[in-house]
Amino acid sequence: MRTTVGIIGAGPAGLLLARLLHNAGVDAVVLEGRDRSYVERRQRAGILEQGTTDVLRAAGAGERMDREGLRHDGIELRFAGRRHRVDFPALTGGRSVTVYAQTEVCKDLIALQLKEGGPLLFEAEALAVEGADTDRPRIRFRHEGAEEVLECDYVVGCDGFRGVSRQAVPASLSRVFERTYPFGWLGILADVPPSHDELVYARHDRGFALLSMRSTSVSRLYLQVPAGTDAGSWSDEEIWDELELRLETADDWVLRRGPITQKSVTPMRSFVHEPMRYGRLFLAGDAAHIVPPTGAKGLNLAVGDVVTLARALTHERRTGSADLLDAYSATCLRRVWQAERFSYDMTALLHRAPGATPFEDRLQLARLERLTASRAAETDLAEAYTGFPFG
């Protein structure tokens, strides 16, 4: 097989890149190691920045998002029993975010790719990227029991943290920056309408809690727990009791309870690999960077990567200039590090570190007091949450 762009991974990054390239007249093949059902069911992010929703609409993938997604014009911060709403449009000139699960984004993009785009091969396991530093890179993969080769002009690794694409970058050129947090998130899906119409981020002496949602009838909630916690060690009643305690307010707000349909624990880490390009291999999304979920940046960073890359590949095709391709890593990393900074700040602001001292607790509360009293500080949060510019 031969194509212009070989894409490893059919998550939102790989699928959106394929869509953007199709619209620009650039042929691509997408290889995905899992089956279609798995890709369309794996639970991941659910918050889309303003720029992400704009890109999906422009790509022709926004119809169902606009019909079923939930526009949010703010978030609520809770601490010391108090509630404070951050008004995004008022602070950012009209920007907002949309609650629309990554699973739904993938379903929309898969349907478009299979209907209009180039080949999308499920259960096609990428084994290695070869010749990345030549003008004829190739992806060795296994499909339907046979080993095959996809020859490309460019390879894009959208295959996540444990994929093979990053392994093709020589260790002598790689620089890794990472932090592992001593806590994780115990997350649940529950068949109950959300207890608030916007996301609630709560700082409590017992740890962080987040009230989120997947739809008007399904709630998504999280509790800070020690790293390595087994989700099964928490009973449903214990989870609801702890959520009620950490989300409590001084007014008459009530947490709605319902049947819990899923429990899982998400580890917390920050990770950046530099550079994001080696020869004709480009890394995008979790293959290059991971953020803790507190800032809702993971999926949106991946979108920023592939928008930048699609522009660069289209520019090269139309003009013959590789200037934008040569700048890809530096361009993306500027945005990546701002997102890493914001995600780290939000995590440190709202989570209680193991062994935190009373002094550190007071500093957290002082930071929250400052944030809710200063329009400048609040604006910085709103601008970052609704999204840094692409490119």
385 included as an active-site residue: yes
In the set 100, 278, 328, 385, the catalytic residue is 385
Q: Specify the CATH number for 5-70+101-177+269-346; select among 3.90.1150.10, 3.20.20.70, 3.40.50.620, 3.50.50.60.
A: 3.50.50.60
In the set 100, 297, 328, 351, the catalytic residue is 297
For residue 379, the model assigns a pLDDT of 98
In the set 204, 292, 293, 328, the catalytic residue is 293
In the set 201, 222, 278, 328, the catalytic residue is 201
- Does residue 162 contact residue 33 with C-beta atoms inside 8 Å? no
Q: Which CATH architecture has domain 181-268+352-386?
A: 2-Layer Sandwich (3.30)
Q: Where are the domains of the chain?
A: 5-70+101-177+269-346, 181-268+352-386
| Number of residues that this document lists for the chain | 391
Rounded to two decimals, the pTM is 0.95
201 included as an active-site residue: yes
In the set 72, 204, 273, 289, the catalytic residue is 72
Per-residue pLDDT of the chain in tens (391 residues, 90 and over written 9): 999 999 999 999 999 999 999 999 999 999 999 999 999 988 777 899 999 999 999 999 999 999 999 999 999 999 999 999 999 999 999 999 999 999 999 999 999 999 999 999 999 999 999 999 999 999 999 999 999 999 999 999 999 999 999 999 999 999 999 999 999 999 999 999 999 999 999 999 999 999 999 899 999 999 999 999 999 999 999 999 999 999 999 999 999 999 999 999 999 999 999 999 999 999 999 999 999 999 999 999 999 999 999 999 999 999 999 999 999 999 999 999 999 999 999 999 999 999 999 999 999 999 999 999 999 999 999 999 999 888 6
143 included as an active-site residue: no
- Does residue 104 contact residue 52 with C-beta atoms inside 8 Å? no
289 included as an active-site residue: no
